Chains A and B, each alone.
Chain A
């Protein structure tokens, strides 16, 4: 199946700094990528939908200035957590939809990135 890669898989950063997480579709083009946050033992919370070449669409309650999303190419989207605080520590997961017929419609997930803010 299609592969989505996230990097880094684990990152520790100091409070007040920014950290960038990359999401790449390795063997397909993805017009649309999604960013999720997952708290321990909970389901995924959609943060934003990222469309190549345009601004991301954020879900209600997600601060767009804090979680910067860039989708500059058909294979890469980045999430930058700015001025990170300990409460931003979480598991962040990206996913990507195969471009082409919308009837294909399969969404593949990255491996996730553990962010710890100290």
Chain B
């Protein structure tokens, strides 16, 4: 079956530090890959996505590249802010299918 594995948190960083959250996946076929962010007490927001190999998704300073050869979709941001404190979920979806989520990574950015 399909699965997503992401690094466990919490990840604690200082403001302006570099953030990387690793995500790897297993899927039959060619999935689309997503990063969602969940701020405390809220639902999930789509952060970025990539639909095919070598695509780079980017938004709000975050980036992730769809690496088919390593089945990875690592999330990066060069300089985090306190407002980036949240839980980040990596997910995949095959066409017409439901999302498969990773376990989520809690990120805490300290001033």
Contacts and interface: CB of A to CB of B under 8 A. Distances in A.
B95 A46 contact: no
Contacts of B36: 109
A109 B32 contact: no
Given A49-B98, A102-B96, A109 B44 contact: yes
Interface string B91-103: 0010110110111
Interface stretch (B11-19, B45-53, B69-77, B78-86): B45-53
Contacts, number: 52
A15 B1 CA distance: 38
A105 B93 contact: yes
B43 A107 contact: no
Interface in A48-97: 49, 93, 95
Output the residue of A6, A42, A109, A111 with the most chain B CB within 10 A: A109
